[in-house]
Chain A
C-alpha cells in the first residue's frame, strides 16, 4: 500500500468522482484517470501476476507498451480480457479484474511455479514434456492449455456494434506530442487535409506527462492552444483514442478508434469501436519513443517502473508508486524524474547512475552514486522496501525509477518489410528510410531534446504538405528550455544481479534465457524469440526487445546491428475481432439477394434456404409437413397437374450487336450461328482447360439480339468470363451485353396442364404447332405487362419459363396461381426442382465441378470441332478422352428406401473400399417421388457401358454400405415425350 495520490497537481478533474471496482473491491477515482492511475491512487500497487512464474506485478509503464497490468474489463458479453490498465480510461461503473491468478491475486496458487523456476527456463515445453510420449495428449497438453493464456473470454455474445470505414487525407500525423502537433500545424496551415491520430484520450503526447515549458508557458497550455487552433480548422480531423496499428502498401494505414470504451453502457446507435482504413499521401510518424527498462535483479517488483512512467503518473495523474524514490539510470533523462518527483514533494533518496563517467548535471541536490548497479530489489507483493547496490549495500526506498535509454517507436516504418537501422551514437534503432510517404519526426526520429522535437515536427509537417502538392506554410518553432544533455550509455543487463532479472516481463523471460538459447543453437534473433518467447504476446516486446537483442549480441559476440530485430508486423497493439468484423455481422455478414418472387413465396408459406447470397424458396410445407413430404407432394403434383417455381435466380444476360451471334458461338462449345430467331438452345460452356464450366439456354429474340441464361451459382463468374472474352480475347467484335438478372422475375410453369394455365395469362398461341419445344418469344402478360416466354424444361415435363419485369413478378405469379387453381396448380421449391432434374438426369454444378468433361457427363456431342471457342483445344487432350474416364450414370439402391448421399464412393461388389478400388462417386442424390426410390447421379469409370451392373455405394463418413444398380441417368421418360407434348 505504498502508492498514493498527491493532494494537488495533475490534470485530473478532482471534482468528478468515479466509482469503480477492482477484483470486487469498491474504489474511486477521477475523470482524467486511467485505470492504472486510479489503482495507484487507491494504494493498489499489485495489479497482476506474471504469465509463467506468477510473480506479483504492477505497472511498469504509463502507456501502450504495458506488459504487466493487463485486466479483464467489463461484464457479460462486454468483458474484454488483456486490457492494459494504462490505456483504459476510468469511467463510472467500471469493473476490472486481475488476470492470471487463482484463486485470488493475493493468494495465487500458480506462484509455486516460481519455486520450481529452474524447470521453467527457455524451451521448457520442448524439454520437459517429451516423454512418456503418450502423456502428451492426455496429460501435458490439457494442463498446459489450462495454465497458458492470459485473460478469459466471457463466451457470451458481444452486445455492442462495431463499424469499419475509409478516411482520406493528405497528411496523416501519428502521435500528437511536440513533434506531432508541430507537424499537424505546419501541414494544416499549408492547406493539406490533415488527420491527427493519438492512442491516448488526451492529445499532447508527452507534453502533459512532463513539466517542460514551451514558448514561455506550461507545455499543456501551449499544447491546448495548438489543439484549439487545429480543431477550428476545417481541413483537420483530430482523433484522440485512435491507434494507428498498421502500415500497408500505397500509404494506406489501419487505425482503431475507441469511440465508446470509456462508458459502462454505450449508446447502441453508436459503434463502440471503429476500424479505419486511412488513405493518405504522406504520414508523419511522430509516435514518440519508448523508454527501455534496465535488466537487473528484481526489476519486476511492484514499485519498479520506467523513469518516464513515474514522471507521467506524477505529472499527469498526481500519483506516485511510493513515498520515497530512487532512480537507477544509464541516461541523463532519468535524472529528470528525480527533479519532478522532488517537485511533487516525494522524497528522492538517491540517483544511481550506472555510468562511472557521466557528466555532471543538475539533480536538484539529490545525491548521485556513479557506477552504482542495482543487483536486487527487496520487498514483497505490495511494494518494495529497498534496493541492493552492487551486491551488498541496501538503500531503503518504496519505489524505483529506471532508465535504460530510448527506443523510437519505429513500428509503422517497418511493417512493409524494411528493418530498422541501429544507430550506435544514439544507442537505438532508427526508422528505416524505405517508404517515401513515411516521414519520421521527433523522438521517433531519434530527437531527444524537446526543442529538437518541435523543430523536427515542423519540418516534417512542411515536407509532408509539400510532398502532397501544397505550398508549405512557414511555422515558427517555439522556444523550449532544453539545456539538458541526453547522453545514453547502454547497459543491457546487470550481470551481477542476485535476483531474477527480467528482459520480457510479459513472457517471464529472464537475462539467463537468452544466453541459454544462444548456447543451444538458437542464436538467430528470430529463433531466440521463438525459443524463449521473448517479444511475443500482447506487448510484442515493445519494452524488452532491444535489451534482448543487446544481451544476445553479448552472448554471441556479435554487434547489435548484426543481430538486428525481429519482423515488425501489424498490429501495433491488439485489435478486437469485433472491430475487424465491423458492420459485417449477423444479417450483414454477407449481402443477401432477394428474388422478386420472394414475397410471393413467403405468402405461400415457403421455407427458404441460403444458396450463396440468395435466399431461395425451398419447399412449401403444409401443416405438419417436413421437407420430404412437401417436396414429394410438389413433384407428384407437377408431374400430374402443374406446378410453378421461382427461377429468377438464374443469371440473365442481354446480348446485342452486329457480331453477337459470332461472339456467342465462341463462348459455347456447341454451335449457335444457325439458331433461328424465336428459338432457344441449350448451350454448354467449357473452361479454357477443356472441362465443363457452365451451362444454360440462349434464345435468339432478333437477328442480332440474344437472351442468355447461366446457372444461378455460376452467374457472376460466367459474366466475368464473358467480359474477359470480349475485352481481352476478341475486342474487335462489335457486341454489347449486360446483366439483366435483376430486371426479370422468372418462373417455371411445368406439368401436363401448364399450357392450359399459361394460355389464360399470356396472349399468345401456345399450341405445340405455334409454340413448340425450345420456342422463345416476347409476349404480353395480363394484357399489359411485357414478358418473355420460353418453352424449356428442367423437369422433363411440358414446361415454360415466363419472365416478366421484376416489379410485376408477384402479381403475375399470383395470377398464374389463380388461373391454375382449377387445374390443381401448386408452387414447388428448390427441393422439388432438384429431385425432378435428377430424375431426368440433367446436370448442375454437382456435376459441373471442374473435374468433368462434356463427354463425361454425356454431352460429348455438344463439343464442336468446326470452330474455335473457349476450351476447344484443351478438350481434345488425350487424358480428357480416355475411355477409362468416369462417366455419368444413374444409381439406384437395391432397396429403394435406403438413403445414400452425394459424395459417397462407388466400389465393386466384392471390393474393400480404398483409393485403389475406388471407381467413382455419387454427385447428386434425390428422393424420387415418381419412382418411390432414392436415386442418384454418379460418375463411374466407363459407366456408360455398365448399365445394369451392381456395385457398392460406400460412405465411410456416414457409415453407409449399400448395394446399388447402375442405370441410365435419365430415370424417367428417356425419349422426352412429355417435354415435347
Chain B
C-alpha cells in the first residue's frame, strides 16, 4: 500500500533546491521556498456576523480580524483579508485548522479547509519586489506595500494572494492546481537577479 502519512505537495515534482540564474556578487536576488504542509482555511462570514467572528477569533486564537488587503498574525496563525467578508487563515505546520476554527466559529462563518487547495510559496530577498512587479500591477514599492499588507491579484493570469510578511519577504498563496506552473513562471522571472531554492 502506498504511504499516505503525508500529503503530496503540488510543487514536489518541480522544486529543485540550489542556486539558479545569474550569479550576482551580492548573492541571489531572490530566495524561494514553500511551506508544506501548511494549514489553510477560508473563512467567510455569515450575514452580519463579522464583529462576532472578530471577537471569537480574538478570544480563542488571539488573532485580530484584519480588513481587506491586510493581514494579522498571532500565535503562528495569520489571517489575511482577501474579499470584503472573506479571509484566509494560514498556519504553517499546524493541524486541523479548519476543524478548530469550525469548532469555535462555525456558526458565524463558513469555514472550508484549503490546506490542499492552496499552496504557499515564500519569496524573500532584495529583488523580490522587482520579480513580483513583472507580474502584477499592484504597486509593491516598499513605502506603499508594507509588512502586514496583502493583495489579491494575478501574476501571469494566475490568481495569487500576496502577503508582505517583512521588509523583503512575501508569502504567495495560489491555487494548488496552478501552483507548479506558477512556480516555473516565478523562477523564470527571477533568473536575471539569480535565485536560490531552499
**Contacting residues of chain B (132-148) with chain A, CB-CB under 8 angstroms:** 133-137, 139, 141, 144
Of B38-46, B64-72, B73-81, B163-171, the one with at least 4 CB within 8 A of chain A: B38-46
CA distance A774 to B46 in the complex (A): 29
**Contacting residues of chain A (562-594) with chain B, CB-CB under 8 angstroms:** 583-584, 587-588, 590-594
Known: A166-B137, A657-B110, A808-B7. A587 touches B116 (CB 8 A): no
- Chain A residue numbers with a CB within 8 Å of B7 are 805-808
- Given A591, A654, A741, which contacts B157 in the complex, CB threshold below 8 Å? A591
Is A167 interfacial (CB 8 A cutoff)?
Answer: yes
Q: Decide: B178 and A593 in contact? CB cutoff 8 A.
A: yes
Known: A166-B133, A738-B42, A810-B8. A591 touches B114 (CB 8 A): no
Q: Decide: A734 and B116 in contact? CB cutoff 8 A.
A: no
**Contacting residues of chain A (620-672) with chain B, CB-CB under 8 angstroms:** 648, 654, 656-658
- Chain B residue numbers with a CB within 8 Å of A744 are 116-117
Of A95-103, A370-378, A811-819, A926-934, the one with at least 4 CB within 8 A of chain B: A811-819
Known: A591-B182, A734-B46, A815-B4. A271 touches B114 (CB 8 A): no
CB of B118 to closest CB in A, whole Å? 7
Q: Decide: A168 and B8 in contact? CB cutoff 8 A.
A: no
Is B60 interfacial (CB 8 A cutoff)?
Answer: no
Tell me the nearest residue of chain B to A734, going by C-beta.
B47
CA distance A648 to B139 in the complex (A): 35
Tell me the nearest residue of chain A to B109, going by C-beta.
A736
Is B33 interfacial (CB 8 A cutoff)?
Answer: no
Is B191 interfacial (CB 8 A cutoff)?
Answer: yes
Q: Decide: B184 and A587 in contact? CB cutoff 8 A.
A: yes
Is B158 interfacial (CB 8 A cutoff)?
Answer: yes
Q: Decide: B177 and A596 in contact? CB cutoff 8 A.
A: yes
B interface residues, how many (CB within 8 angstroms): 54
Q: Decide: B8 and A807 in contact? CB cutoff 8 A.
A: yes
Q: Decide: B110 and A738 in contact? CB cutoff 8 A.
A: yes
CA distance A85 to B141 in the complex (A): 37
- Chain B residue numbers with a CB within 8 Å of A812 are 4
Is A973 interfacial (CB 8 A cutoff)?
Answer: no
CA distance A267 to B178 in the complex (A): 29
- Chain A residue numbers with a CB within 8 Å of B118 are 742
Q: Decide: A596 and B158 in contact? CB cutoff 8 A.
A: no
- Chain A residue numbers with a CB within 8 Å of B9 are 807
Tell me the nearest residue of chain B to A166, going by C-beta.
B137
CA distance A784 to B182 in the complex (A): 31
CB of A90 to closest CB in B, whole Å? 24
Is A164 interfacial (CB 8 A cutoff)?
Answer: yes
Tell me the nearest residue of chain B to A267, going by C-beta.
B22
Tell me the nearest residue of chain A to B85, going by C-beta.
A736
Chain B 49-73 near chain A by CB (<8 Å), digits 1 or 0: 0000000000000000000000000
CB of B115 to closest CB in A, whole Å? 7
Chain A 749-789 near chain B by CB (<8 Å), digits 1 or 0: 00000000000000000000000000000000010110000
Tell me the nearest residue of chain A to B114, going by C-beta.
A743
Q: Decide: B156 and A592 in contact? CB cutoff 8 A.
A: no
CB of A96 to closest CB in B, whole Å? 27
Tell me the nearest residue of chain A to B83, going by C-beta.
A738
- Chain B residue numbers with a CB within 8 Å of A593 are 177-178, 181
- Chain B residue numbers with a CB within 8 Å of A271 are 192
Is B113 interfacial (CB 8 A cutoff)?
Answer: yes
Q: Decide: B158 and A591 in contact? CB cutoff 8 A.
A: yes
Tell me the nearest residue of chain B to A745, going by C-beta.
B116
Chain B 153-197 near chain A by CB (<8 Å), digits 1 or 0: 000111000000000000000011110111011001101101000
- Chain B residue numbers with a CB within 8 Å of A163 are 134, 189
- Given A267, A591, A805, which contacts B116 in the complex, CB threshold below 8 Å? A805
Q: Decide: B189 and A583 in contact? CB cutoff 8 A.
A: yes
CB of B81 to closest CB in A, whole Å? 15
CA distance A430 to B67 in the complex (A): 48
Is A387 interfacial (CB 8 A cutoff)?
Answer: no
Q: Decide: B156 and A584 in contact? CB cutoff 8 A.
A: yes
- Chain B residue numbers with a CB within 8 Å of A657 are 46-47, 110
CA distance A594 to B119 in the complex (A): 13
- Chain A residue numbers with a CB within 8 Å of B25 are none
Q: Decide: B112 and A743 in contact? CB cutoff 8 A.
A: yes
- Given B10, B42, B141, B185, which contacts A583 in the complex, CB threshold below 8 Å? B185
- Given A165, A596, A815, which contacts B133 in the complex, CB threshold below 8 Å? A165
CA distance A590 to B156 in the complex (A): 8
- Chain A residue numbers with a CB within 8 Å of B21 are 269
Tell me the nearest residue of chain B to A786, going by C-beta.
B113
- Given B44, B141, B188, which contacts A168 in the complex, CB threshold below 8 Å? B141
CA distance A810 to B2 in the complex (A): 9
Q: Decide: A279 and B116 in contact? CB cutoff 8 A.
A: no
CA distance A785 to B7 in the complex (A): 10
- Given B44, B116, B133, B180, which contacts A743 in the complex, CB threshold below 8 Å? B116
Q: Decide: A738 and B177 in contact? CB cutoff 8 A.
A: no
Is B126 interfacial (CB 8 A cutoff)?
Answer: no
CA distance A770 to B37 in the complex (A): 35
CA distance A584 to B185 in the complex (A): 9
Tell me the nearest residue of chain A to B157, going by C-beta.
A591
CA distance A814 to B180 in the complex (A): 22
- Chain B residue numbers with a CB within 8 Å of A161 are 188, 191
**Contacting residues of chain A (708-742) with chain B, CB-CB under 8 angstroms:** 734, 736-738, 740-742
CA distance A654 to B22 in the complex (A): 44
Q: Decide: A815 and B2 in contact? CB cutoff 8 A.
A: yes
Chain A 146-187 near chain B by CB (<8 Å), digits 1 or 0: 000000000000000101111110000000000000000000
- Beyond A744-B116, A785-B4, A805-B115: 20 further Cβ-contacts under 8 Å? A165-B135, A166-B136, A166-B137, A269-B194, A583-B185, A584-B156, A596-B10, A648-B177, A658-B47, A736-B110, A737-B44, A743-B116, A782-B1, A806-B7, A806-B176, A807-B6, A809-B8, A810-B2, A810-B8, A814-B2
4 pairs of A and B residues whose beta carbons are closest in the complex? A807-B7, A743-B117, A742-B117, A736-B110
A-B contact pairs, 27 of them (CB 8 A): A163-B134, A163-B189, A166-B136, A168-B144, A269-B21, A269-B192, A270-B191, A583-B189, A588-B156, A591-B156, A591-B178, A594-B178, A596-B10, A599-B12, A657-B46, A657-B110, A734-B46, A738-B86, A742-B116, A743-B117, A743-B176, A784-B4, A806-B117, A806-B177, A810-B8, A811-B3, A815-B4
Interface residues of A (CB under 8 A from B): 161, 163-168, 193, 267-271, 277, 279, 583-584, 587-588, 590-596, 599, 614, 648, 654, 656-658, 734, 736-738, 740-744, 782, 784-785, 805-812, 814-815, 818
